Amino acid sequence: MVIAITGVVIGIVALFIAPATTAYFSSSARAQLGDAADTALRRIARDLAQALPNSARVSANGQSLELIPVSGAARYATDSGNPLLFGVVDTVFDIVGPPLKLSRAGQQLAWYNLGAGTPDADAYTLSNVRTATSPAGSATSVGLSGAPLPNALQSPPFRVYAIEPPVSYRCDLTVGTLTRYSGYGFSATQPDPPTAGTAAVLARDVSACQFTYSAGAVAARYALVTLQLSLSRNGETINLYHAVHVDNLP
């Protein structure tokens, strides 16, 4: 009789405990998925905020996003001191105002980037990219090597950017991952996926992913990048949407 009564009591108690326990584990799973998705999207947004103007581009299927990181930017001299010359070989030029931060020796520099398909102003083809000969550090005068810069690049706001190799974010729905690729070099066409460099998985359990790039009404001035990411695990799914304003003023 004691065993029977105990079984009845346990069964009744279980009716109240089981739903609460299930709800706890479900809530915990959703929180973990939400944190993972939010961390991944914030990392992408941070890279977009520091990207070279007009360098963000999205693959045709919307599951790969590429950009060129900027490690430093400054204004170059145009009419005083040692101005930067266009159309002719120039080996050194001055910086106006705060110095240009160079992260390493042989830093690549970019001018007036207008994006893919623009003659003389597409950093992915290196048409507006040259190599600094100055050492790493804060430079008020920058050494330069390479062919003469096209005259078309001499335009306000007269800025020069210290850039790093491209970075890609790619979703692979087959294995359910969001991966960050870096160090693979420049290519006129967007690699999907990059075949060199390093790769780091930012998120797992990816069930859906979509990146979009929408240029503004004023050409080469601003754009909106939207990031949509869904993570699923054990029957729980979290969907996050993030919009990033990109300043494309070169």
Tokens of 236: 């729980």
Q: Which has more pLDDT, 49 or 215?
A: 49
**Average pLDDT for 132-144:** 96
- pLDDT score at 108: 97
Are 101 and 177 within one domain? no
**Residue-wise pLDDT tens digits, 237-246:** 999 999 999 9
**Average pLDDT for 83-89:** 95
**Average pLDDT for 185-192:** 95
Residue that is last in its domain, among 163, 184, 213 = 163
**Residue-wise pLDDT tens digits, 61-77:** 999 999 999 999 999 99
- pLDDT score at 154: 92
**Average pLDDT for 92-106:** 95
Are 186 and 211 within one domain? yes
- pLDDT score at 18: 54
Domain total for the chain? 2
Are 52 and 136 within one domain? no
4 pLDDT higher than 70: no
**Average pLDDT for 47-64:** 96
- pLDDT score at 31: 78
Are 28 and 97 within one domain? no
Are 76 and 149 within one domain? yes
Residue 18 structural domain? 2-66+168-247
Are 75 and 129 within one domain? yes
Residue that is last in its domain, among 163, 180, 209 = 163
